[in-house]
Amino acid sequence: MTERPEQDGRMEVSVYTDGACSGNPGPGGWAAILVVGERERELSGREPQTTNQRMELMAAVAGLRALKRACRVTLYSDSAYMINGLKQRWYVTWRKNGWLNSNREPVKNRDLWEDLVELIEDKGHEVTFGKVKGHSGHVYNERCDALARAAIRADSTG
């Protein structure tokens, strides 16, 4: 995706994400839509056995990984778990506590949280987070939901 960069050289990108699961745990799908100006890029994938929260995180990881250079990113999701964890920086405390949560139990989905934090902190992106109300008619959220659900049904060989 190439568009005219902003004054600081960073392209402005909106990344919309969603995850879905058939059963929880069960087969899951994720989707991300990257929007730069009037251009859009859709990404999606599936896991044969996973949880909804893992798919929510995977969508964000995949969306940010698709960016090939430092960008100014607004990451949108209907996942309170993910958005609150990022906005409130839960991961800072988790890291400090050896990736244990407030109950002194291992943080669930640690691998994806670590990937997400690395992509946000170490790749030079300037990231802000937006909460989208799920299933409320938001065009990109509805499209991500449809892509994630389609990924669940997709044949794993193709």
The residue ranges of every structural domain in the chain are 11-153
| Residue of 29, 115, 125, 145 marked catalytic | 145
19 part of the active site: yes
Indicate the residue type of 70. A
> So what's the pLDDT on residue 6?
53
What residues contact 42, with CB distance under 8 A and at least 6 apart? 31, 32, 33, 143, 147
Q: Is 145 a catalytic residue?
A: yes
Q: Among residues 18, 47, 63, 125, which one is catalytic?
A: 18
Q: Which of 29, 56, 63, 125 is catalytic?
A: 56
The highest-level CATH class for domain 11-153 is alpha beta
Burial class (CB in 10 A: 0-12, 13-18, 19+), 54: buried
Overall size of the chain counted in residues: 158
Pairing state between β 126-131 and 71-77? parallel
Per-residue model confidence (pLDDT) at position 137: 77
18 is known as an active-site residue:
yes
Question: Which stretches of the chain score pLDDT less than 70?
Answer: 1-7, 155-158
